[in-house]
Structure 1
Amino acid sequence: MRYIFITLLFLCFKGIAQTNNYNISFENAVHHEAKIKASFPKIKTGKLKLRMSRTSPGRYALHEFAKNVYGLKATNSKGEALPISRPDPYSWIVSGHDGTVNIEYILYANRGDGTYSQIDETHAHLNIPATFIYSEELKHRPIEVNFDVREDLNWKIATQLEKLSQNKYSAPDLYYFMDSPVEISDHDVKEFELQGKKIQFVLHHPGTDTEFEEYFDQVIRIVKQETAVFGELPDYDYGKYTFLACYMPNVSGDGMEHRNSTILTDIESLADGGMKGNIGTVAHEFFHGWNVERLRPEDLEPFSFSEVNMSEGLWFAEGFTSYYTGLILCRAQVNSEKEYIEGLAGTFNYVWNSPAREYFNPIQMSMQAPFIDAATSVDPVNRENTFISYYSYGSSLGLALDLSLKQNDLNLDDFMKLMWTKYGKKEIAYDVKDIEETLIEYAGPEFGTKFFQEYIHSSKMPDYKNLMKSVGVKLEQETNENYFGATLKNTENGLEITRNTFKNSPAYKAGLDHGDLITSVNGEPITSVEDFNKLIKNSKKNAVIEIGFERFGKPKITEVKLGSDPHYKISLMEKAEKQQLKNRKQWLDAK
């Protein structure tokens, strides 16, 4: 659980509990450094173990933030130096103290996204686990942090932390502190009230207020439509939810949900494609304020800052959120019905045509997250054939469940409301069995049991063609064109296969693999991907073609029997029936 009782206790009696203090300054921001000081008083043990987090809320892999910490020093209450030892790469043990341990260190930070921190002369973008050393044994203590901002750069502070004074903020415990990103910059702010709660949008960008106004209007519509799904806003801890948006050329594209805020980063400014390109992340992350932050998988509680975090429920937590992302943009009239419907094709084709369902069901795909979600490794993997993103898989299943429920005069919105009422609103964590039992409660045992047996515990695919037909949407194979089954790019020496070939595709069956260089077709040299695609397209159906290629510098020849393009297109029916149009209206119209 989220230490709710303890958190409320500290909010009421913060003055009684012993407080850990931090100060962070940015004199050397031009070189991406921050200087951090911390004080841990009233230590009861002879040694104090300090550490940097290895994970970050909302991520599931390891990140080893300690690699960017250096110049660490420790002193006692009199300023006398204390010995420091290193039991492992991400911890420090301070001994010989007099009940107080003071530390200072330098942090290097130069990646602005939802996981890492970035410090430069445009901003101090702080993800707390990537920034501050902490003590696990003191995790229940309140925390106060002073941000020594650069007034010469007109920096201002934005965060979900409780404000105590101009630059000082507090958290009731370590968990809340770790879950509270901070954007310090010369940013703009707009806000509105809904259901007595403040929705604040902080924007650090190079654009105009007119652009921000247009963007904020979309944000308001999205917030209202997502609130309509659950029937109410969550109970934000300080009566406020804050979007921390940074659309700057020096950041990395990302979105990351937190309890009462979210990080939104992208290199596209609002004038340079961001007006349309960034708004989907707004919809996705705000939906997480219900689904994942409070309506939360049991296997993510408590969140570990020292080990990977694996969950069986990401197909629901992330995937259903992804389904609602596109749906909400349509309901909020950010995207048209046509844009939404046709945009379903990419995710559908990815899931429908993936050979990975042979190996893992949605639950098992979710459990791959520690290897996937911003995880890093140097050895090649075969994810083209063994993995489907739980975002996409869950999104496709959310679509199928919604349309299936509608055939029984039910809908996914009301199911999500029921999950919210039973679990999210009370902040009772759920497991996969709880989702199944709630669906059975809502839609009946025959419907709920069948859906889980066939599509969650197994990897069968729903009858999307008939489901889409019920709302006046057409699903059909895109073309009768030939299909090769490899991703190519032009190089000086030939057409390089840049990814693993897809299992059971013509290229895969012919023994072609990642890294091969295609040099000829039917004995004729081939020098561009465009010419290759044209040749494949103009070949006879199911034609057998000879491919000349190089592997490890040696020439080889293989025969490829072309197949039919497996991709589908999704479109609105031109002559939908009255009932189909009615069903579509109930599905896509604003609530």
Structure 2
Amino acid sequence: MRYLIIVLLFCFKSVQLVAQTNNYAISFENAVHHEAKISATFKQIAEDTLSLRMSRTSPGRYALHEFAKNVYNFKANDSKGNALKITRNNPYEWKVSGHDGTVIISYTLFANRGDGTYSQIDESHAHLNIPATFMYAPSLSERKIEVDFKTRDDLNWKIATQLPHVKKNTYSAPNLYYFMDSPTELSNHMLREFNVDGQTIKLALHDPGTEEEADAYFEKVKKVVLAEKEVFGELPSFDYGSYTFLACYILNASGDGMEHRNSTILTSTRTLANGGMEGNIGTVSHEFFHSWNVERIRPKSLEPFNFKEANMSGELWFAEGFTSYYTNLILCRAGLITVEKYVEGLTGTFNYVWNSPARQFFNPIEMSYQAPFVDASTSVDPVNRENTFISYYSYGSVLGLALDLSLREKDLNLDDFMKQVWNTYGKSENPYTIENLNNSLNLYAGKEFGNNFFNSFIYKSEMPQYNELFKTVGVSLSQNAETTYFGAAVSITDDLNGKIRSNTKIGSPAYLAGLDKDDIITSINGESFPNGIQFNTFIEDEFKPEDTLSITFLRDGLERKTEVTLTSNPNYTISLVEKNEKAPSKKILKARKAWLKVE
């Protein structure tokens, strides 16, 4: 009986702890200097010492960001206002002891980068990424959270967020994870919304433009939403019946997009009137697709998300890359870009991936593993990314293209495969592995087809037969053997020398000649550069493949000489066949129409 009473008391105490609410408040009196004042109250604390941390990561990002560096003036008191003991064992954590069951903290946050990772506070807005803004108590992560956003009424700020509304300026989250995944925009924004199958899609638009411009842009957003719904056959079931685009298009923002469970951050320096009407809609397409692929079709390697360490996943070629494939495809299907623009727009990504020497080092899974080093991360020491890394966004995008066209040869398609993955893993929110994806493709298209795709292009880094695949939809893939190739990014300096801006590409003429980053080319064949012409244009106009150039250059202030033997440019051109050849057959036009879903 005594044991039973102890168990019941323990369970009651556990329920009390879970039912307790952590309360935050944030104000912006000194917004002009990018500061926020933040306080939080934690009650019914069972442990003697309460650990409080700033996150080192953010949902949707994979690298470390060290948000603690922008926190100062930290204080902690008990319920009676007595100062508590604070100890620091690492840069990210504050340990508070000597409390009476309640800990009340306060601190100042400096924030001045408006994007999907960081926060920005000024008199135009309070753009808040939650991990970059609020401390948290790891031991209280299952508690409900309430936040009082003390808006600047003098600046006409309103609140936009996926957090459910409680009252006035107070919003809630069921637990820490949902809180961390809920960016919030406080600004004088314009709000638009429409209903799809009983759910509300909202656009909170912070842009200096007109109401008419907001209306026009929202029509584009609606087309994207409906075109992506068609891929999966339905919208996700958003937790509180709505999804919010938090679009911040102002000059002091930084270009970015970041998906969240029921919302997304969209930032750009391009306002709607200054190129953003067309230039920003691609991010809308990419991020909303993530509400299926990543947020609910979720890699098991990202579960649970770790706020203390970098998050690594081998599935980003699918999670980010296949989403990137659909980004412009959706714009084409929605009539927001032309078929010609879509097809020709494949060229840059295609060349970046298939002409990269990095494929000899890493396959798409291993490229995905590089995310903690490249995903908005920074490094002081030089790196060799030009030769060792291909973005998993781009790599996955061209593989998604290849898989789609390959499936269409079997009267299948990537849309229906994505539906299958959605129905198997997304709707039930059962995280998947790479092996699960392989098995899903085997189930959808046959074991031989599925295993061949994964064994050739995912577990290895071979190149699909694009030339044959493109022919099935009336697209031309070509190379120009008469165009010269040097193999280095060179800019002309004020004194008409050529400075190599980045690492020369492995196997290129410049690389084989021993040229390297920061070398300064002073003459070619004894002649200096002509004024007013770009380096690549000069090379292409004056020389032919297999020409050998005598190069004089400076390295560390010392003059050196080498010889560069030019080759043909390895870049491809992608275009509609009717642009240079005869019109495609009705069969091919029918296949193209089925692919792009356009007349």
- Within the alignment, does 1:184 sit opposite 2:186 as a pair? yes
Name the CA distance, whole Å, in 2 between partners of 1:587 and 1:381. Answer: 39
Name the CA distance, whole Å, in 1 between partners of 2:196 and 2:561. Answer: 66
Q: Is the 8 A contact 2:314 2:368 kept in 1?
A: yes
Name the CA distance, whole Å, in 2 between partners of 1:176 and 1:221. Answer: 28
The equivalent of 1:159 in structure 2 is 161
- What is the identity, as a one-letter code, of the residue corresponding to 1:577? S
Q: Is the 8 A contact 1:495 1:528 kept in 2?
A: no
Name the CA distance, whole Å, in 2 between partners of 1:456 and 1:128. Answer: 35
Q: Following superposition of structure 1 onto structure 2, how do residues 29-40 of structure 1 map, counting pairs within 5 Å?
A: 29-40=31-42
**How far does residue 590 in structure 1 lie from its aligned partner after superposition?**
5.4
Q: Is the 8 A contact 2:485 2:545 kept in 1?
A: no
The equivalent of 2:572 in structure 1 is 568
Identical amino acids, percent of aligned pairs: 63
- Within the alignment, does 1:507 sit opposite 2:523 as a pair? no
Q: Is the 8 A contact 2:492 2:534 kept in 1?
A: no
The equivalent of 2:151 in structure 1 is 149
Question: Which of 515, 520, 528 is the aligned partner of 1:517?
Answer: 520
**How far does residue 535 in structure 1 lie from its aligned partner after superposition?**
3.9
- Within the alignment, does 1:546 sit opposite 2:550 as a pair? yes
The equivalent of 2:559 in structure 1 is 555
Aligned to 1:541, the other structure's residue is in SS state coil
The equivalent of 1:10 in structure 2 is none
The equivalent of 1:387 in structure 2 is 389
**How far does residue 212 in structure 1 lie from its aligned partner after superposition?**
1.2
The equivalent of 2:379 in structure 1 is 377
Aligned to 1:282, the other structure's residue is in SS state helix
Name the CA distance, whole Å, in 2 between partners of 1:313 and 1:426. Answer: 19
Q: Is the 8 A contact 2:50 2:96 kept in 1?
A: yes
Name the CA distance, whole Å, in 2 between partners of 1:343 and 1:436. Answer: 29
Q: Is the 8 A contact 1:519 1:527 kept in 2?
A: no
The equivalent of 1:303 in structure 2 is 305
Name the CA distance, whole Å, in 2 between partners of 1:150 and 1:552. Answer: 54
Q: Is the 8 A contact 1:490 1:527 kept in 2?
A: no
**How far does residue 435 in structure 1 lie from its aligned partner after superposition?**
0.3
For structure 1, which segment, 305-314 or 538-547, has the greater mean C-alpha deviation from structure 2 after superposition?
A: 538-547
The equivalent of 2:454 in structure 1 is 452
Aligned to 2:298, the other structure's residue is in SS state coil
Question: Which of 536, 544, 547 is the aligned partner of 1:533?
Answer: 536
Name the CA distance, whole Å, in 2 between partners of 1:548 and 1:529. Answer: 20
**How far does residue 534 in structure 1 lie from its aligned partner after superposition?**
4.2
- What is the identity, as a one-letter code, of the residue corresponding to 1:539? F
Where does the alignment leave 5 or more consecutive residues of structure 2 unmatched? 1-14
**How far does residue 173 in structure 1 lie from its aligned partner after superposition?**
0.1
Name the CA distance, whole Å, in 2 between partners of 1:68 and 1:52. Answer: 10
Question: Which of 275, 279, 282 is the aligned partner of 1:280?
Answer: 282
**How far does residue 533 in structure 1 lie from its aligned partner after superposition?**
3.2
Aligned to 2:172, the other structure's residue is in SS state strand
Q: Which runs of 4+ in 1 moved over 3 A?
A: 13-16, 531-535
C-alpha spacing 1:46/1:531, structure 2 compared with 1 (3 Å): closer
TM-score, normalising length: structure 1: 0.97
Q: Deviations over 1:335-365 (max 9, x none)?
A: 0000000000000000110000000000000
Q: Deviations over 1:283-335 (max 9, x none)?
A: 00000000000000000000000000000000000000000001000000000
Name the CA distance, whole Å, in 2 between partners of 1:16 and 1:57. Answer: 23
**How far does residue 573 in structure 1 lie from its aligned partner after superposition?**
1.2
- What is the identity, as a one-letter code, of the residue corresponding to 2:192? K
Name the CA distance, whole Å, in 2 between partners of 1:358 and 1:256. Answer: 31
- Within the alignment, does 1:580 sit opposite 2:591 as a pair? no
C-alpha spacing 1:87/1:15, structure 2 compared with 1 (3 Å): closer
The equivalent of 2:61 in structure 1 is 59
Q: Following superposition of structure 1 onto structure 2, how do residues 344-493 of structure 1 map, counting pairs within 5 Å?
A: 344-478=346-480, 480-493=482-495
The equivalent of 2:272 in structure 1 is 270
C-alpha spacing 1:528/1:440, structure 2 compared with 1 (3 Å): farther
- What is the identity, as a one-letter code, of the residue corresponding to 1:130? A
Q: Is the 8 A contact 1:545 1:559 kept in 2?
A: yes
- What is the identity, as a one-letter code, of the residue corresponding to 1:153? L
**How far does residue 532 in structure 1 lie from its aligned partner after superposition?**
3.9
Q: Deviations over 1:550-577 (max 9, x none)?
A: 0000111110000001111111111111
Q: Deviations over 1:399-442 (max 9, x none)?
A: 00000000000000000000000000000000000000000000
- Within the alignment, does 1:294 sit opposite 2:302 as a pair? no
Q: Is the 8 A contact 1:117 1:127 kept in 2?
A: yes
Q: Is the 8 A contact 1:200 1:242 kept in 2?
A: yes
- What is the identity, as a one-letter code, of the residue corresponding to 1:521? I
The equivalent of 1:9 in structure 2 is none
Name the CA distance, whole Å, in 1 between partners of 2:193 and 2:584. Answer: 41
The equivalent of 1:131 in structure 2 is 133
Aligned to 1:524, the other structure's residue is in SS state coil
Q: Is the 8 A contact 1:225 1:590 kept in 2?
A: no
Name the CA distance, whole Å, in 2 between partners of 1:540 and 1:351. Answer: 25
Q: Following superposition of structure 1 onto structure 2, how do residues 68-87 of structure 1 map, counting pairs within 5 Å?
A: 68-87=70-89
**How far does residue 87 in structure 1 lie from its aligned partner after superposition?**
1.1
Aligned to 1:530, the other structure's residue is in SS state coil
**How far does residue 271 in structure 1 lie from its aligned partner after superposition?**
0.9
- What is the identity, as a one-letter code, of the residue corresponding to 1:561? T
The equivalent of 1:90 in structure 2 is 92
Name the CA distance, whole Å, in 2 between partners of 1:104 and 1:430. Answer: 40
Name the CA distance, whole Å, in 2 between partners of 1:478 and 1:179. Answer: 48
Q: Is the 8 A contact 1:109 1:116 kept in 2?
A: yes
**How far does residue 179 in structure 1 lie from its aligned partner after superposition?**
0.1
Aligned to 2:236, the other structure's residue is in SS state coil
Q: Deviations over 1:14-63 (max 9, x none)?
A: 99810000000000000000000100000001110000000000000000
Name the CA distance, whole Å, in 2 between partners of 1:447 and 1:377. Answer: 41
Name the CA distance, whole Å, in 2 between partners of 1:208 and 1:482. Answer: 48
Name the CA distance, whole Å, in 1 between partners of 2:436 and 2:309. Answer: 25
Question: Which of 228, 242, 261 is the aligned partner of 1:226?
Answer: 228
**How far does residue 527 in structure 1 lie from its aligned partner after superposition?**
5.5
Name the CA distance, whole Å, in 2 between partners of 1:139 and 1:487. Answer: 49
Question: Which of 81, 99, 104 is the aligned partner of 2:106?
Answer: 104
Equivalences, count? 579
Name the CA distance, whole Å, in 2 between partners of 1:320 and 1:106. Answer: 40
